[in-house]
Amino acid sequence: MRAVRFDEYGGPEVLVVEDVPEPHPGPGRIRVAVRAAGVNRVDSKYRAGIMTVKSLPYIPGTDVSGVVDEIGDGVTGVTVGDEVFGATPKGGYAEFAVLTAWAAKPASMSWVEAAAVPLAAETAARAFAVVDVPDGVTVVVNGASGGVGSAAVQLGVARGMTVVGVAGPANHAYLRELGALPVGYGDGLVGRVRELVPAGVAAALDIAGSGVLPELIALTGDPATVVSVADFSAPEHGAKATGGAEGRRWDVLPVVADLHRRGRFRVSVQQVFPLAEAAAAQAISELGHVRGKLVLEI
């Protein structure tokens, strides 16, 4: 099969398309013929050696959508030919991938949209869980217009929350469409949020890691109600950080599928690339100014 992989750490140029052996699912896993693969910032961190992998060469990619074509022992509830989206420990940038978590792809969702969902939605759901945010309260999402931020906004709105989305002015109209109350980055953030929601803020999710943890703590009044998925100095401020070691929240996938089916979850894809242009996709991802997601189409 064709796959994108790297044999050494480095810039996007180390990514090459090669013919590699096909993977096959072990117990509790399924294999899909990949239709699309999401591009995440963590993919670039592995490629650059910021986060190391167990062995090289390595095929990056966590998020995929595709058609089930092999089923491992002990798997129930899915059959060959089913359309699914989900997560693989590695190897998403390829024609075939083995999934460890998945959900049925709703007819309302395209292959490209489905591949943009898994890690972003899981990260957002996990952030809410880490600070145990109850339904119906007011929350702040810092970095609300990217893939994870967009998912957090919509999952919050679906739970009856008032969501204040922090983003650049160019993304404010987009956030309003998602149901958020937008505010801008920069000096005076605390005052702008308090003016917008004078009743106060119950919790804050830092998606951007843009150095505003003290301001988010000031807004909630309690460091334990602030969590960052990008700034791992958060515990130094008394806040929480999450990278997934405490457990993944893949149970959010069928939730998102149902919301999308009912028109209550929008998937924003900024750009779609062919598999051979994975390096270009990662280069854009590393700039950090993507609205929604970048996706490789197989």
pLDDT in tens, the chain (298 residues): 999 999 999 999 999 999 999 999 999 999 999 999 999 999 999 999 999 999 999 999 999 999 999 999 999 999 999 999 999 999 999 999 999 999 999 999 999 999 999 999 999 999 999 999 999 999 999 999 989 999 999 999 999 999 999 999 999 999 999 999 999 999 999 999 999 999 999 999 999 988 999 999 999 999 999 999 999 999 999 999 999 888 899 999 999 999 999 999 999 999 999 999 999 999 999 887 777 799 999 9
Instruction: Indicate if 24 and 66 belong to the same structural domain.
Output: yes
- Residue 173 CA to its chain's centroid (Å): 21
pTM over 0.75: yes
Instruction: Indicate if 211 and 161 belong to the same structural domain.
Output: yes
Instruction: Indicate if 40 and 98 belong to the same structural domain.
Output: yes
First to last CA, the chain: 11
Instruction: Indicate if 75 and 143 belong to the same structural domain.
Output: no
User: How many structural domains are present in the chain?
Assistant: 2
Please give the Cα distance from 138 to 240 (Å, whole number): 18
Domain at 274, CATH number: 3.90.180.10
Instruction: Indicate if 219 and 287 belong to the same structural domain.
Output: no
Q: By three-state DSSP, how is residue 204 classified? A: strand
Domain at 194, CATH number: 3.40.50.720
| In a domain? residue 253 | no
DSSP H or E segment with residue 274: strand 269-274
Q: What angle do CA 198, 181, 42 make, to 5 degrees?
A: 120
| In a domain? residue 251 | no
| In a domain? residue 162 | yes
Instruction: Indicate if 143 and 215 belong to the same structural domain.
Output: yes
Query: Where do the DSSP E strands lie in 110-244?
Result: 138-142, 162-166, 181-183, 203-206, 226-228, 240-241
Cβ atoms within 10 Å of 266's Cβ, excluding its own: 17
Please give the Cα distance from 139 to 192 (Å, whole number): 14
Task: Provide the domain limits for residue 19.
Answer: 2-117+267-297
Instruction: Indicate if 201 and 215 belong to the same structural domain.
Output: yes
| In a domain? residue 248 | no
Domain boundary among 204, 223, 241: 241
| In a domain? residue 255 | no
| In a domain? residue 44 | yes
| In a domain? residue 261 | no
